Amino acid sequence: MTNPSASISLRIPTFDDVRIAQTRISGAAHRTPVLTSRTADGIAKATLFFKAENMQRAGAFKFRGAYNAIAALDASSRQNGVVAYSSGNHAQALAYAAKLQGVSAVIVMPWDAPDIKVAATKGYGAEVIFYDRYTDDREEISRRLAAGRGAALIPPYDHPDVIAGQGTAALELIEEVGEIDMLVVPLGGGGLLAGSALSAAALSPGCAIVGVEPEAGNDGQQSLRKGEIVHIPVPKSIADGAIVTHIGVRNFAILKDTVDQIVTVTDAQLVDAMRFFAERMKIIVEPTGCLAAAAVMHGAIACAGKRVGILLSGGNVDLKTFNMLLGSG
C-alpha cells in the first residue's frame, strides 16, 4: 500500500519553520503552562515537566498547527476555504482557526468520533461530513472535496506547516524549563512528535526523544524498527486521537533521524494516568493526551534521575466517557 502523500513534492520542515510558526501563532495560541507534581516525580523517580496542551485553545495542541497552516496560505488560497480530515482534535482546531481567520472549513470526520468533538467542530462553524473509519478512505474523500471546491487541503499531520506549528509546544517547554534529558511525546500520525523533535534537537542537544503509541496501534514503533513506513489495520483504542494506520511521509522523514525509541502503553494504563491527573493534579486530560505520561509513570521508559519533558496533548473528552472510564470509585 502506498501513502498518497508520497506522490506530492515533499517539503520537509526545519527548526527555522518552527520559529516562523511561533511568530505566526503568537497572540492566537495560548502559551500553555508547564505543570509539576512531586507525587509524579516520586512515581517516576525523575523530575517531570508536563506541558499542558489540554489547556490550549480548542482543547489540544492541534490548534498550533492548524492556525499556522491557515496563516501560511496566500489570499487566493483562502478564498475557497480549507478541507481537513480528523477524528476530532484537528477537526476542532482547524474549524476554530479558520473561523478566527475568516476562512470557511469542511471537516471529514468518522461517524463514531466523540460527540463532544463533533459538536465543537460544528460550533466553530465548520461543515462536517461523516465517513466510516473502518471501510472508507478519509484521505481520498477529502482530496475529492478539496479538488471539487478548489479548497486547500490541510491534513492533520503530514503537512509542513502543521508539523512546524506543533513544534512550538516543545519549543515553549524548553524555553521555560531549560535543557532536558528526555522529551516524551504522544504519537498518532506524527505531527506533534516530528515538530517536537525539531525543537528538541535544536534547543536541547543530546536530549533523548521518545514517542508513545497505544499498544493496539504500534505502526510507528514497527516503522522505526523496520526503517520504512508500516501500514496497519485501523486499531481500536480509547486513545481516539492516535487511531491511525500509518505515519505521515514528512513526519517519518524527521522521526527516523531524530527519535530514539517508540514505546506503547495499554488502555488500562491510560485510564490510570487520567485518574492521576484528575485526582492529584486537578486537570482533565483525554486518553490520547495521557500517552506520554502513562509511559513514564508506568515504567515503559527508563528515566530515573532525569529531567523529563512530557507533552499532555489534549483534554477533549466528554464527561460521560470520562466518568465511564474512571468509574464511580
Render each residue's pLDDT in the chain as its tens digit; 329 residues.
334 344 346 899 999 999 999 999 999 999 999 999 999 999 999 999 999 999 999 999 999 999 999 999 998 889 999 999 987 789 999 999 999 999 999 999 999 888 888 898 999 999 999 999 888 998 899 999 999 999 999 999 999 999 999 999 999 999 999 999 999 999 999 999 999 999 999 999 999 999 999 999 999 999 999 999 999 998 999 998 898 999 999 999 999 999 999 999 999 999 999 999 999 999 999 999 999 999 999 999 999 999 999 999 999 998 899 999 998 44
Would you call 220 a catalytic residue per the annotation? no
Amino acid at 2: T
Would you call 196 a catalytic residue per the annotation? no
**Cα Rg, the chain, nearest whole Å:** 18
Would you call 213 a catalytic residue per the annotation? yes
Would you call 175 a catalytic residue per the annotation? no
| Cell numbers for 282 | 486537578
Would you call 217 a catalytic residue per the annotation? yes
Beta strand segments in the chain, E: 34-35, 47-52, 82-85, 105-110, 127-131, 152-153, 182-186, 208-214, 261-265, 307-312
- Domains annotated for the chain, with CATH where assigned, are 13-61+159-326 (3.40.50.1100), 63-153 (3.40.50.1100)
Helix (H, G, I), strand (E, B) or coil at 85: strand
- Out of 195, 306, 313, 315, which one is annotated catalytic? 313
| Cell numbers for 61 | 495542541
- Out of 213, 215, 240, 272, which one is annotated catalytic? 213
Predicted TM-score (pTM) of this structure = 0.93
